[in-house]
Amino acid sequence: MTQTTHTATAGTETTRTEFAELPGLMSLMTDDEKHGPAATSTLDALWVLYDRVLRVSPERTTDPERDRFLLSKGHGPMAYYAVLAAKGFFPLDWLPGFGSYDSPLGHHPDRLLVPGAEIGSGSLGHGLPLAVGTALGLRAQGRQDPAVWVLIGDAELDEGSNHEALAYAGAAGLDRLHTLVIDNSSATHGWRGGIAARFETAGWSVATVDGRDHRALYEAFTAPHPGRPHAVVARVEPKNA
């Protein structure tokens, strides 16, 4: 796996963090968390997005021209918190308090408490519709530069709200909208032809990649898709493996 170094700030201490260190950051979160596989399944994709793709930083959380990242798969947010902390959005010493009564890091992210979080999430089926609304809002404001990214789990596609959202986005040509689907084979129903076919039918550009391959993820994330929203299906090990 590709490892990229960068600087992260924890209080007044500056550290160098690599991808290989993220599991150690996740291990600091020792509360009774019931969604470990949901967190680890997203780790590689989140890192590549925040390290190489998203135009957002701790200094730009209120910049109207920033990229927006919406975590719809908000249950099991340990990987998300680890990446945000590594990138300096909040101090590393917040991590051990995960899930405690007075910690801002709850079992579902709260946008009012977690620096860098765009939405409160965890109830499946909400993130993609919110991302569609965000993309529409930016279009209405004449903002062409900000990209909107939303991470969903494959099981979220059991929710009808997501199918309405992806159908609308394709018809509306929301080409600043990007959906990252983490496929750990946890969906109940499945789709004829697979997940990619569902998006393609609705007019999206789609790439399916190994969700642990950083180069493949980056290439899929940055693939051109003029006039169409873009979906990346990242396949990882099955949830029950």
State pLDDT tens for residues 108-118: 999 999 999 99
- Is a pLDDT exceeding 90 seen at residue 3? no
What is the pLDDT, as a whole number, of residue 221?
98
Its pTM stands at 0.89
Query: Phi and psi at residue 155, in whole multiples of 5°?
Result: -70, -20
- Neighbouring-strand partners of residue 177: 148
Contact 54, 149 (CB under 8 A): yes
State pLDDT tens for residues 145-178: 999 999 999 888 888 899 999 999 999 999 999 9
The β-bridge relationship of strands 205-210 and 177-183 is: unpaired
What is the pLDDT, as a whole number, of residue 190?
67
What is the pLDDT, as a whole number, of residue 6?
37
How far is 70 from 130, CA to CA, in rounded Å?
A: 8
